Amino acid sequence: MTRSNKPNLALFDFDGTLTTTDTYSTFIKRILNSSPYTAKTIWRKLCVIPVLFCYKLGLISATHARVKSSFIVLKGLSTSTVEETALQYVDDLFPHIIRPEIYECLQLHKQQNDTVVIVSASLDVYLKVWCKRNNLKLLCSQLETAHLNTNDEIYTGEYLGADCCGEEKARRIQQHFPLHQYNTIYAYGDTPEDYPMLSLAHHHVYQGNNLNRIKSLISSKLS
């Protein structure tokens, strides 16, 4: 395949880039608030508050906060219940938090038949809902599940693999989308966690900078 015949690759961080807010923490709160008011739910709330507080103070990393919070809140919960909550969460929240200017750029990539991938440290249980609806590929943090004797499936609280941020983003991208197979690579991010992903790209947008130039570049190829 010659260079001109290769597809392009567009990589989008999700929280803060495609959205105006952090979807991980609000999802964790949604899970806690939608759970039955039991001693176990109260205990989960009491345990997760110090984790989030330490993260806000900069005492622990975002990765540590996500992994620990996921374990505290999701361990032992039915996958069907969490997935139902995730579906409602996407319906309720996502229409109001998607950044129109970034989403427009994403649509331009799709119109050009680029391979468009969401690359996020947030959780697969709700991101896969939104990505399926928008016909997008997804690389993100994945939750581990286990089957009980009753054949019910629960979350173990652990991740399948590492938290998908920083160097892990770049590693997964190169594992699943070998860069030599693409003509031009675009990347969109908003925090230092995205630097390794942005470094893979020929063109990148960081915190909205260069967005208009990139839009013009993509649009010119469509005309």
Residues 6+ apart with CB under 8 A from 18: 12, 98, 99, 102, 103, 106, 118, 188
**Position 2 pLDDT exceeds 70:** no
Residues in the chain: 223
Mean pLDDT across the stretch 93-120?
97
Contact call for residues 139 and 160 (beta carbons, < 8 A): no
Reported confidence tier of residue 3, pLDDT bands at 50, 70, 90: low
pTM of the predicted protein model: 0.93
Mean pLDDT across the stretch 99-126?
97
C-alpha distances in Å from residue 23, one per residue of 125, 198, 202, 209? 12, 21, 28, 22
Q: pLDDT at position 177, please?
A: 98
What whole-number distance in Å separates Cα of residue 11 and Cα of residue 29? Answer: 28
Q: pLDDT at position 74, please?
A: 97
What whole-number distance in Å separates Cα of residue 9 and Cα of residue 97? Answer: 24
Reported confidence tier of residue 100, pLDDT bands at 50, 70, 90: very high
- Residue at token pair 């697969």: 124
Q: pLDDT at position 220, please?
A: 81
Rg (CA), the chain: 19
The token pair at 23 is 């979807």
Q: Which helix (H) or strand (E) holds 143?
A: strand 143-147
Domains and CATH numbers, the chain: 3-222 (3.40.50.1000)
Reported confidence tier of residue 4, pLDDT bands at 50, 70, 90: low
pLDDT tens track for 43-97: 999 999 999 899 989 999 999 999 999 999 999 999 999 999 999 999 999 999 9
pLDDT tens track for 150-166: 678 999 999 999 999 99
Mean pLDDT across the stretch 176-189?
97
Cβ of 171: how many Cβ atoms within 10 Å? Answer: 15
Q: pLDDT at position 37, please?
A: 87
- Residue at token pair 């900069």: 58
- Is residue 135 exposed (0-12), middle (13-18) or buried (19+ Cβ within 10 Å)? exposed
**Position 1 pLDDT exceeds 50:** no
Mean pLDDT across the stretch 98-113?
96
**Position 101 pLDDT exceeds 50:** yes
**Position 192 pLDDT exceeds 70:** yes
